[in-house]
Structure 1
Amino acid sequence: MAIDLHMHSTASDGTDPPQSFGELAVAAGLSAIALTDHDTIAGLGAAQASCKAAGVEFVPGIELSTERGRPRGALHMLGYFIDPTSPRLGEVIDVLTEARSTRNPQIIEALNEVGVDITLEEVLDEAGGATVGRPHIAAVLVRKAYAKSIQDAFKRYIGVGGAAYRRKQGIHPAVAIDALHAAGGLAVLAHPVQLRCEDDEDLERTIGSLAKLGLDGLEAWHSDHTPAQVKKYCRIAERYDLLLTGGSDYHGRRKSIQMGKPIVDDQVLAALREAAQRRVQ
């Protein structure tokens, strides 16, 4: 059976509520899923209940934003089998939430300075109580015809190099890894292609340094990865004795990504489960 270990709900920047994920997983032919919202655990309870009712195995997860340490790319850390009540993880989430709340007004101000008529209140309404992030700003830009699509909004305005881009203060990868371990979970590097490493040597050096910090795994299968990249990531994972994971990075209507694609075999989850059980013993 297929699984999908990378998804986002309305608790962060997705468009589907967490209570719908059980039915969505069944419709996609999935036997297990993980909800990995950005820097929040708010949707885990509802998603878990939904999956239980639908007969789908549920893995409590999260995707933490960390500092890349360089101007290129993004370094995100996926956590699996986490305890949402962990005090240490809660502290890290609070830090990241504060960083977002500081950056969002800065982006709005920068947009106003380049002639874009947008307010923070409009963005908060778009988020509907969820953790506010750049995708919500992008959605308002599209709705008000300042951009043709979410991707266009990022490219022209709020992505790296955009007219209103503002860097978010993140946490060091070591802090993210330690917090996930403190929560009884596994720490996995998300979508390594988005690191935007200069070359394969830079990629291996980056992953090797994360492995020394306690990284548990590598997301080899992802909607952004080509078959050649998947093979490369699998080789690197073997070299550093890292677990393999995979998922779609599903966001609902916000991105043209299909749940359950690419196909990830449930044997991947079996290996993750065993590693998580060893961690808490």
Structure 2
Amino acid sequence: MTYCDLHMHSTASDGTDAPRHLARLASDAGLAGFALTDHDTTAGLPAAAAAAHQLRLAFVPGIELSADPDVRRTGASHGTLHILGYYIRHDDPTLQRIQRQLHDARAQRNPQMIDRLNELGVNIRYDEVLAEAGANQDDAAVVGRPHIAQVMVNKGYVKTIHEAFNQYIGMRGAAYIRKDRLKAAEAIDAIHAAGGVACFAHPVQLGLPDDDQLEQVVRQLKDAGLDGIETHHPDHRPADVARFQALARRYRLVTVGGSDYHGSRKTNALGSPRVPIDTLEQLHAARPAEAEP
């Protein structure tokens, strides 16, 4: 059986490997195909697609959109909801508008967060964060909290990115500032407008306390047009996989999976968990009727 990895990040967002290099890594890992799903940007897709073609790999143009989960009335402790989009047209006008909106929200929030860090004695500068993100060389690069965290590690204020999030810039951190986020339905609609398939990414990361609240979220997303759910992910235990697969059957959702590979910023191994290549056929079948062949 041959396999693919449907969740990978590049230097276009918060990964450490260039889009073209991801294709080589996928080939070296023995994969038959991969998806590039950078956070809130399609900037890396053309380069990744060209490299995949040269290496005769199946390539899935993708994105991972950040959204606000509508679960406040449940009292749940939750973070950002992520919606994966597969087989998108990277230059779709609606998707480009959404990307600009999310870029502007980060551009407004990041300096404010750095000011708050400075007040707490963490002396980093925004130009250092831009350099870490490669934004000085690539205006399309997504600059976000992982880059702030990496600068904090580089300057010795914390030992790990995880520590930076826990103490300072995570949702309960001393320097956290909320940014404007999409509604989940907006993210799903944007993916559909671009001819893509919308899937609920790593459900376990929402931190919902019980299965009832998880099912409420899945039901709301399905009502908004959700097509699939990421059942296989490094953060998912076997029991998690089983309950997500049950939800997929109940709500007639495509199941996907991937490593959530970020290069050196995370320990996730490219190609793990193993996802059968025939998953791509299921994604193709789930595309909107008006999508290009």
**Shorter-chain TM-score category?**
over 0.9
Q: 2:99 aligns with which of 93, 99, 107?
A: 93
1:228 equivalent to 2:247? Answer: no
Question: Residues of 2 paired with 1:179 and 1:110: CA distance?
Answer: 33
Alignment correspondent of 1:127: 133
Q: Deviations over 1:130-153 (max 9, x none)?
A: 210100000000000001011111
Q: Deviations over 1:139-179 (max 9, x none)?
A: 00000000101111111111121111111210101111111
Alignment correspondent of 1:214: 225
The within-5 A match list for 1:7-22 is 7-22=8-23
Give the residue type in structure 1 aligned to 2:144.
G
CA RMSD in angstroms comes to 1.1
Is contact 1:22-1:52 (8 Å) kept?
no
The within-5 A match list for 1:51-130 is 51-69=52-70, 70=72, 72-129=78-135, 130=141
Is contact 1:22-1:53 (8 Å) kept?
no
Give the residue type in structure 2 aligned to 1:58.
F
What secondary structure, in the 3-state scheme, does the structure 1 residue paired with 2:286 have?
Answer: helix
Give the residue type in structure 1 aligned to 2:170.
G
Q: Deviations over 1:195-247 (max 9, x none)?
A: 11121000001101100010000000011111110011000011001110101
What secondary structure, in the 3-state scheme, does the structure 1 residue paired with 2:4 have?
Answer: strand
Is contact 2:35-2:59 (8 Å) kept?
yes
Question: Residues of 2 paired with 1:173 and 1:68: CA distance?
Answer: 6
Is contact 1:13-1:38 (8 Å) kept?
yes
Give the residue type in structure 2 aligned to 1:162.
G
Q: Deviations over 1:36-72 (max 9, x none)?
A: 0000000000000111111111000000010124452
Question: Residues of 2 paired with 1:34 and 1:122: CA distance?
Answer: 30
Question: Residues of 1 paired with 2:288 and 2:177: CA distance?
Answer: 40
Alignment correspondent of 1:202: 213
* Structure 2 unmatched ranges of 5 or more: 136-140
Is contact 2:83-2:201 (8 Å) kept?
yes
1:189 equivalent to 2:204? Answer: no
Alignment correspondent of 1:272: 283
Alignment correspondent of 1:241: 252
Q: Percent identity?
A: 52
Alignment correspondent of 2:24: 23
Question: Residues of 2 paired with 1:168 and 1:9: CA distance?
Answer: 23
Is contact 1:39-1:65 (8 Å) kept?
yes
- Normalising by structure 1, what TM-score? 0.97
Question: Residues of 1 paired with 2:224 and 2:177: CA distance?
Answer: 28
What secondary structure, in the 3-state scheme, does the structure 2 residue paired with 1:33 have?
Answer: strand
What secondary structure, in the 3-state scheme, does the structure 1 residue paired with 2:278 have?
Answer: helix
Alignment correspondent of 1:136: 147
Q: 2:176 aligns with which of 165, 172, 181?
A: 165
Give the residue type in structure 2 aligned to 1:21.
L
Question: Residues of 2 paired with 1:29 and 1:150: CA distance?
Answer: 30
- Higher mean C-alpha deviation, range 252-261 or range 265-274: 265-274
Give the residue type in structure 1 aligned to 2:110.
N
What secondary structure, in the 3-state scheme, does the structure 1 residue paired with 2:60 have?
Answer: strand
What secondary structure, in the 3-state scheme, does the structure 2 residue paired with 1:280 have?
Answer: coil
